[in-house]
Amino acid sequence: LARWSYLLHGDQVLSPAAMAQMRATVPIPGTSLTYGLGIYTYPVLGKTLWGHDGGGLGFNSQTLYYGERGTALAVIINQRGGTAWAGDILTELFREVLAYYQFPHDHPYALSSEVSIPFLAPGTETLTVTARLLNPENRNVQVDAVYATSDGSISDTLRLFDDGLHGDSLANDGIFGGTVGPVNPEFNYSVDIHTSDLDSAFSHVLEDAAHFTTVGPVVYAEHEVSLVATGISLILRLRNESSSGIAKDIKARIATSDTSIQNILNNDRPFGNIAPGQVRQGVGNYLLRSENPPSSLHLTLEIFSEGHSFWRDTLDIVVGLEAPVAELPRKFELSQNYPNPFNPVTTIEFFLPENAYTSLRIYNLLGEVVEELVGDDLPAGRHRYQWNADRQASGVYYYRLTARKFSAVKKLVLLR
């Protein structure tokens, strides 16, 4: 019944209104219970299932049909003394069904993929993409890596080979490889592995199999450290060394092998988006719990963009009474850029005593905006941005900072 309703509704023979009118409950003779009739749709795990259910005090049943694969699931349970529902059980069963159909089993498909380096210096470096294939019947295959930006504005295809000559380890070992690059546009890229069975019409795509970036690198810039009752409080600032790419949705995770640190709270601090040349402070602080804090500490730093680990760095901190105590600025302030005059890169620094939506723009003598360095919500603290004016003519420019009710303008000179 569920299958036929799925087919009829899919061909628009049954409307949603007609589906609703089919729903009814009927009494079970000799009891105070009722049983459900009719068909309904049930969204689960991003798919739409077609189902029928019924039940009463102490029991429940449900059948769901997955039209894409022609698979049906049915559960009848006794609920006396329990809290489980057939729908909950079916959801978990369907999760297993989706996991099964994720892979084609008897056909060739990619199990996994890796990139040799997560950060690819734009215009200069190359990286190797490898894919591990399962091909139980030793069919003739064609394997391609399709790498693209998240918005799809840039996409390219790379043929992968299993001949021992393309960074793929040994010939005919099931590992396919190929070389990407150089890549000039500065973006985050995801890699899909496309496997085509040349002996049939079958094909398979392993989506989001690997990731790399040409943005950055994003690196450690500065820190502030102070002793607190439960250990060490740490504030970090990161710098995006990219020339044009925005480092999006940045988070940073710290780690140490020092056994005096029991654990690290508030890890994976968010930094938001970091513009090219910007130094940005994380939201909140890291707390390194320790009953006996060391006088110095070596930390490793793993930096993520859009949930993917792309960069690593290290830093050493000095802990103790002599360590500087982190303080917020007491007022809004815009500093003079340095160097000034400059050619072609200069740094602009400003201070925010509180979180604020902040705008920093560069103007020419005609009052036209030539570049917006920031237009975003920023946390309180010190912020630094670099302006690369290599596309601008020599002359006098102005930069303006606006944050809440504060506004300030200063002059800078590009001298080639």
What average pLDDT does this structure show over 41-55? 73
54, pLDDT greater than 90: no
Residue 257 and residue 281 in contact, taking contact as beta carbons nearer than 8 Å? no
Q: Do domains 218-318 and 333-414 have the same CATH topology?
A: yes
Q: What is the residue extent of each domain of the chain?
A: 2-101, 109-213, 218-318, 333-414
User: Three-state SS for 99?
Assistant: helix
Q: Kindly report the average pLDDT of the chain as a whole number.
A: 84
CA 51 to CA 56: how far, in whole Å? 17
User: Which CATH class, in words, describes the domain spanning 218-318?
Assistant: mainly beta
What average pLDDT does this structure show over 243-256? 92
User: Three-state SS for 197?
Assistant: strand
What average pLDDT does this structure show over 224-228? 85
* pTM for this model (two decimals): 0.61
Q: Looking at domain 109-213, which of 2.60.40.10, 2.40.50.140, 3.90.1580.10, 3.40.50.300 is its CATH number?
A: 2.60.40.10
112 vs 227 pLDDT, higher one: 112
* pLDDT tens digits for range 374-413: 888 887 888 888 888 888 999 999 999 999 999 999 999 9
Strand partners, 141: 197
What sign does the dihedral 143-148-153-156 (CA atoms) show? negative
227, pLDDT greater than 60: yes
Architecture of domain 333-414: Sandwich (2.60)
373 vs 5 pLDDT, higher one: 373
184, pLDDT greater than 60: yes
**How confident is residue 159, by pLDDT bands cut at 50, 70 and 90?**
very high
Q: Across 161-262, where does the E strand assignment appear?
A: 175-180, 188-197, 203-213, 218-228, 231-240, 247-255
Is the bond leading into 43 cis (omega within 30 degrees of zero)?
no
What average pLDDT does this structure show over 29-50? 71
CA 8 to CA 63: how far, in whole Å? 18
Q: Name the token pair of 47.
A: 């798919």
CA 5 to CA 73: how far, in whole Å? 16
Pairing mode of beta strands 59-66, 109-115: unpaired
What average pLDDT does this structure show over 276-291? 87
Ranges of H-type helices in 86-203: 86-101
| Most confident listed range (158-162, 286-290, 382-386) | 158-162
Ranges of H-type helices in 232-331: none
